[in-house]
Structure 1
Amino acid sequence: MAQQSEALAYEPRDAILEAAAWCFMERGFNATSIDDIARQLSATKGMVYHYFDSKAELFFEIHHRAMDALLDEVRPVASSALPASQRFSEMARRYVKTLIVTRHYQRTVSEAVQMVLRSSTTETQRQQLTSLQDRRNHCEALFLSVLEQGIEEGSMLAQRPRIAIKPVFGAMNSVISWYHPREDETPEQLDQLVAEVVDVALKGVMGSN
């Protein structure tokens, strides 16, 4: 609670977003109210509204931060000088690890986006959704580009790369649905889990060494 109170005092927007992401993940986006988020923070509803106008605004900011976390990890590897297959594997490892570490943000995105799309949206919100979809497409495009380079190098396999990349992402993204941290889980065990997920996700596109 002390750390939370300190964060609320010095980085209130970050603290509110963190609390909102946890609430959305645990209760569901639709079932979470601004009151719930305020209680999670031991703050007032007015303080939350001082920084965010609505749950929709919180959702959009959480979505952007979820994408920031993934892109910040993947981009440097995509542009590195490593062989394509090594870049692809390392990008996938970082992607899956980030999904796990930021799962409360990623789960919020996964579970709420369809509901937001189905609801009545403003022009500004529609522009936000378009921007977010562009960012998600950009992340997939980074992987696709490296896959195509790997095919050219002969180290990776796919008859139709644009199709093959879809199940790769499906397998990687599934981790946010089933992963639950254990109290006794060590960093080494987490890394091993990430490695196993990546191995399964990439099996269909990796050539034999």
Structure 2
Amino acid sequence: MARPKSATHELQREAILDVAAQCFAQRSYIAASMNDIAAACGTSKARLYHYYRSKEAILFDLLDRYTQHLLVIIGQTEASAQRKNLDDRAALHELIRNFLDQYESSATRHVALLGDTKFLGDVQRELILDRQRDVVSAMTRFLKRAYPQRITAANQTAVTMMLFGMINWTFTWMRPDGPMSYRAFSEEVIAMLERGLA
């Protein structure tokens, strides 16, 4: 009979994922070892193996949870927009704010999503890539509703990726103690969508 998991098992796994994401961001996924992750967690490698059988298993759980969470943010934003009776532009603006709020607290997980998905096995990689496509499709949907005269079949991919280009790489240059907060930056992104630089 299998031993039941402790009440703190999920909390421990989340803590391991946070530390692993930091290790991957600082050293790279390739360079970071299970020993490095265990040491950063303040535990033994044997204890780490109690939670994850391999570094790839850690990476997959990290990306699996993170991409699911991004999809939850989209669903919550849609529900909130309906509840608040927001127009389509306000709903898009809310989604941008919500994404950047998330990016502020999960920069290392976002680094892993953008740079380390390629290290997963075929089946797991395709699942994560499918979720990323779902996120992109949702953003396209929000954009098309917000700017129906501007977004066409010919330019929708370019405009969607332009928006992601503005927000997805904040971890490379934004700092918590920098001159601009993530919330202030979200307002700049919204202003750029609404008015350009004119």
Do the aligned partners of residues 50 and 179 (structure 1) sit closer, same or farther apart at CA in structure 2, a change above 3 Å counting? same
Structure 2 CA distance for partners of 1:206 and 1:161, relative to 1, 3 Å: farther
What is the deviation of 1:147?
1.6
Offset at residue 142 of structure 1 (A): 1.1
Give the structure 1 partner of residue 132 of structure 2. 136
Alpha-carbon spacing, 1:10–1:138, altered in 2? closer, same or farther (3 Å): closer
Alignment of 1:108 with 2:108, yes or no, is no
**Alignment partner of 1:179: what SS?**
coil
C-alpha distance in structure 2 between counterparts of 1:112 and 1:174, whole Å:
15
SS of the residue corresponding to residue 11 of structure 1 reads helix
**Partners in 2 of 1:53 and 1:75 — Cα distance?**
32
- Could you list the runs of 5+ residues in structure 2 that have no partner in the other structure? 1-6
2:165 aligns with 170
| Structure 1 unaligned residues grouped into runs of 5+ | 1-6, 118-124
* TM-score, normalization by structure 1: 0.77
Deviations 1:18-41 (A, max 9, x none): 111111111111111111111111
Q: Describe the shift of the 1:199–1:149 C-alpha distance in structure 2 as closer, same or farther (beyond 3 A).
A: closer
8 Å CA contact 1:25, 1:104 repeated in 2? yes
> Does 2:146 match 1:146?
no
- Which sits farther off after the overlay, 11-20 or 32-41? 11-20
- What TM-score results when the alignment is normalised by the length of structure 2? 0.81
**Which of 72, 86, 89 is matched with 1:85 structurally?**
89
Please, which of 172, 185, 190 is the counterpart of residue 193 of structure 1? Answer: 185
Residue 135 of structure 1 aligns with an amino acid whose one-letter code is R
Aligned residues: 184
Instruction: Work out whether 1:158 is the aligned partner of 2:158.
Output: no
Whole-angstrom CA distance in 1 between matches of 2:30 and 2:69 = 24
- Residue 206 of structure 1: SS of its match in structure 2? helix
CA distance in 2, matches of 1:192, 1:151: 22
